[in-house]
Structure 1
Amino acid sequence: MRTKVTKAIFPVAGLGTRFLPATKSVPKEIMTLVDRPLIQYAIDEARAAGIKEFIFVTSRGKSALEDYFDHSHQLESELRKKGKTELLEALKETNMDSGEIAYVRQHKALGLGHAVWCARRLIHNEPFAVILPDDVIAAEKPCLQQMIEAYAETGGSMVAAMEVPPEKASAYGVLDVKEDMGSVVSVNNMVEKPAPGEAPSNLAVIGRYILSPNVLKTLNKKETGTGGEIQLTDAIAKEIEGDGVYGFRFRGQRFDCGSKAGFLQATVSFGLSRDDLKDELMAYLQEVIAVDKAAQ
């Protein structure tokens, strides 16, 4: 029987420079998508997949992120007095019990692999998940839950994957596919940000991982790769000859909320999925399109 995946690492040490000046004082992960911060979507997905321990790899200036998960007794008291039970229920989703959440610091920005390595002492010798909050995935069944169900059959290490246009493959880690089994593919190799025209496929790695603890042993060597950084992709690739690496074609729509365009697209999509917002938002979008067509 495979060891259950109950721990997840959230690398959130980045400066969020693409969203300056907003991120001068507000961590990017706290920026709101409709009415929930990006990090809440990641936490909800992890909980749905059975994650019990949440490990945040942070950096200086992320105190607002840590405060977000604390109980706000004064706010809860005020809402209770005013009988605002729906808002109280919404707040419960943001609270983390003592011991559920841990924070470790990444003092230097040395790459995603280094960020994951920073959490090594909290993982010990068991499989673990990694979730990048920038990648928000809208899915009927949460992406990580889909992956954990597939992982129960494959073991090894698993990465979420989606097909991207060939001309965009150089922006991602890309899978060299050994065998395509539908939703699951076995992997020959993984290439981090291949040069244009040299990608082994158009199947790109997205920010969800289930990893063997052996990956941490490889990261312990601190070998640098593309861009002079310690790449998580390189460490995962070392597992191919061991227990194997698998790509998982998840069912859902991924939004790159690390970019302004992706963040706006996600805001519109999530807004339209809300019964309390969709009619007013759709009417506005139709009006904007009509005005734009008239101007042409």
Structure 2
Amino acid sequence: MVKKAVIPAAGLGTRFLPATKASPKEMLPIIDTPTIQYVVQEAVDSGIEDILIISGKGKRSIEDHFDRHPELEERLLEKEDKMYDEIMHLSDMANIHFIRQKEISGLGDAIYYARHHTGNEPFAVLLGDTIINSVIPVTQQLIDIYEQYQSTVIAVETVPHDKVSRYGIVGGSMMSDTLMNLDQLIEKPSMESAPSNLAIAGRYVLTPEIYTALEKTPPGKNNEVQLTDAMVNLLKSESMYAHTIEGKRYDIGNKLDFLKTNVEFALRRKEFAAPFYNFLKEIVESHKDQF
């Protein structure tokens, strides 16, 4: 049974400078909720309450966000503010632990920091800058498959064929409409060499054998230890599966997708969906001659 989750959140967030110079990109808000809160909530909604966040220098605000704030709590309680329950929920939603990645040495290196926390158990990995909106949490979807096959499961999504060079791409034989038995993982292949157009989508359930694979994986691109490279090594000795997600992924790692995500989430909020929609129509109409 998968009882623990690891959330890597140590990256520098250089694509969002200067906003991320002193504030983590994982704390960038989707309207009024930090990105990483959505990620933690997905783990909790998947039945996981033991979460390790891999942070780094300048990431202290993530710890503060999930910690108690007695002065704020008291003020909200006195005012009978409806936010009181939500703020209290933040510190109670899960058992959240933190460890720092001492150097930015790749996603694989970050995951290796979790070895003492997860031990000899399978564990989920949720990237801290990726939100996935789905009826059934994607992590729960992966856990269900792991329970059946007892092997590593990777979440993937369909991307346009001409965009495969931007992603880690998987290949193998389809077992159903949404499940693939893997025999290839290729990081950012050319369109001609890509085995499929199924891209790794920032969610995994990994077996503890990944740590042995990471130990044997030399630094790759940018002199960093890549998780995909370690999984390629693990694939030589272990079956591995890819599940095409039922849901929509939002990559908060780039500015355009961040803006799009805020717009979509705003249109789902009852308190201002209608006026915001009307505002968007007015803005589009007033700018139509510019494009």
Which category of TM-score, normalised to the shorter sequence, fits these structures?
over 0.9
Q: Does 1:136 align with 2:131?
A: yes
Q: For 2:273 and 2:115, how far apart are their aligned partners in 1?
A: 43
Q: Point out the more displaced range, 281-290 or 175-184.
A: 175-184
Counterpart of 2:55 in structure 1 is 58
For residue 108 of structure 1, report the CA deviation from its aligned partner.
Answer: 1.5
Q: For 1:140 and 1:55, how far apart are their aligned partners in 2?
A: 24
Structural mapping, 1:196-235, within 5 Å: 196-235=191-230
Q: Which amino acid aligns with 1:178?
A: S
User: After superposition, what is the alpha-carbon deviation per residue over 1:45-85, rounded to whole angstroms, capped at 9, x for unaligned?
Assistant: 0000111211111111111111111111111111111111x
How many residues are treated as equivalent by the alignment? 291
User: After superposition, what is the alpha-carbon deviation per residue over 1:159-200, rounded to whole angstroms, capped at 9, x for unaligned?
Assistant: 110111122111111101223411211101111122343211
Report if the CA contact (8 A) 2:105-2:225 is conserved.
yes
User: After superposition, what is the alpha-carbon deviation per residue over 1:220-279, rounded to whole angstroms, capped at 9, x for unaligned?
Assistant: 234223343211112122333434111111111111110001111110111111111211
Counterpart of 2:42 in structure 1 is 45
Counterpart of 1:271 in structure 2 is 266
Alignment match of 2:141 (pick from 134, 142, 146):
146
Report if the CA contact (8 A) 2:217-2:230 is conserved.
no
Q: For 1:73 and 1:32, how far apart are their aligned partners in 2?
A: 23
For residue 28 of structure 1, report the CA deviation from its aligned partner.
Answer: 0.9
Alignment match of 1:93 (pick from 89, 92, 108):
89
Counterpart of 2:161 in structure 1 is 166
Q: Which amino acid aligns with 1:80?
A: L
Q: For 1:210 and 1:250, how far apart are their aligned partners in 2?
A: 13
For residue 131 of structure 1, report the CA deviation from its aligned partner.
Answer: 0.5
Q: For 2:241 and 2:290, how far apart are their aligned partners in 1?
A: 50
Q: Which amino acid aligns with 2:84?
A: L
Q: Does 1:80 align with 2:77?
A: yes
Gaps of 5+ in 1: none
Gaps of 5+ in 2: none
User: After superposition, what is the alpha-carbon deviation per residue over 1:107-126, rounded to whole angstroms, capped at 9, x for unaligned?
Assistant: 11111101100111111001
User: After superposition, what is the alpha-carbon deviation per residue over 1:9-66, rounded to whole angstroms, capped at 9, x for unaligned?
Assistant: 1111111111111111111111110110001000000000111211111111111111
The root-mean-square deviation of aligned C-alpha atoms, in Å, is 1.6
User: What TM-score, normalized to structure 2?
Assistant: 0.95
Report if the CA contact (8 A) 1:6-1:128 is conserved.
yes
Counterpart of 1:124 in structure 2 is 119
- What SS does the aligned partner of 1:42 have? helix
- What SS does the aligned partner of 1:238 have? helix
Q: Point out the more displaced range, 38-47 or 275-284.
A: 275-284
